[in-house]
């Protein structure tokens, strides 16, 4: 139940965020490793199961763990939950619960209804994640952090489109080049 376990999970599962955390001051890594390792766990939950219901169960397990953290209960023993409980307050746990709840969309094969729905998903996942981490590190301006989270999340999502399509998903509400360019422009605007 150490930060090293979180760092290793992050290194294997999300090398970009691992490198970002390693670029942060050592004192910040104690927050970033468990928060970003949590994200690895919930992001992969829908993809490592054979049935959507099993993905729902995995995500609910995380939501239950976050509820315990929010209520101040003793954390369950888990390589990510235990250190996460040490750095998240109730509001941070609720933000991360929003990440886990939004990941339920990954269990469905239906495309997002429109561009606004896709951007709401990106904000609920990447925006909430970055805002929870920033809050745990100290004072920050929420709008700035969320914009950075949405920009980075959208860039990662657009990079993942070919893989999502190869897995039989329809990741974009409109895959025409001009629609993708509009999404990219929104990401640049937020950044």
User: Is residue 5 located within the same domain as residue 80?
Assistant: yes
Which residues, 6+ apart, have CB-to-CB distance to 14 below 8 Å? 36, 39, 40, 43
User: Is residue 96 located within the same domain as residue 128?
Assistant: no
For 99-135, how does the pLDDT look when each residue is reduced to its tens digit (9 = 90+)? Answer: 999 999 999 878 899 999 999 999 999 999 999 999 9
**Structure tokens, 133:** 């981490």
Q: Answer yes or no: is pLDDT of 146 > 70.
A: yes
pLDDT at 1: 55
User: Is residue 18 located within the same domain as residue 70?
Assistant: yes
Domain count, the chain: 2
User: Is residue 23 located within the same domain as residue 98?
Assistant: yes
User: Is residue 104 located within the same domain as residue 140?
Assistant: no
Q: Which domain holds residue 2?
A: 1-108
For 29-86, how does the pLDDT look when each residue is reduced to its tens digit (9 = 90+)? Answer: 999 999 999 999 999 988 888 888 999 999 999 999 999 999 999 888 999 999 999 9
Q: Give the position of tokens 């490198």.
A: 19
User: Is residue 86 located within the same domain as residue 147?
Assistant: no
Give the predicted TM-score (pTM) of the model.
Answer: 0.94
**Distances in whole angstroms, Cα of residue 5 to Cα of each of 2, 36, 48, 81, 84:** 5, 12, 20, 11, 12
Q: How far is Cα of residue 30 from the mean position of the Cα atoms in its chain?
A: 18
101: how many CB neighbours lie within 10 A of its CB?
A: 18
User: Is residue 74 located within the same domain as residue 153?
Assistant: no
The angle at the Cα of 102, spanning 69 to 63, to the nearest 5 degrees, equals 25
């Amino acid at each position: 139940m150490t930060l090293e376990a979180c760092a290793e999970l992050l290194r294997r599962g999300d090398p970009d965020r691992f490198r970002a955390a390693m670029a942060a001051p050592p004192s910040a890594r104690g927050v970033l490793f468990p928060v970003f390792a949590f994200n690895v766990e919930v992001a992969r939950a829908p993809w490592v199961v054979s049935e959507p219901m099993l993905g729902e169960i995995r995500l609910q397990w995380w939501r239950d763990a976050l509820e315990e953290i929010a209520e101040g209960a003793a954390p369950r023993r888990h390589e990510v939950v235990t250190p996460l409980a040490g750095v998240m307050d109730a509001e941070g746990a609720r933000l991360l619960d929003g990440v886990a709840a939004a990941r339920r969309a990954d269990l469905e094969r239906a495309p997002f209804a429109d561009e606004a729905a896709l951007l709401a998903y990106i904000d609920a996942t990447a925006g909430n994640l970055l805002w929870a981490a920033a809050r745990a590190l100290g004072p920050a301006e929420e709008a700035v952090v969320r914009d950075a989270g949405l920009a980075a999340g959208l860039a990662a999502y657009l990079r993942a489109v070919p893989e999502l399509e190869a897995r039989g998903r329809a990741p974009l509400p409109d895959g025409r080049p001009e629609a993708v360019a509009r999404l990219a422009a929104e990401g640049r605007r937020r950044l």
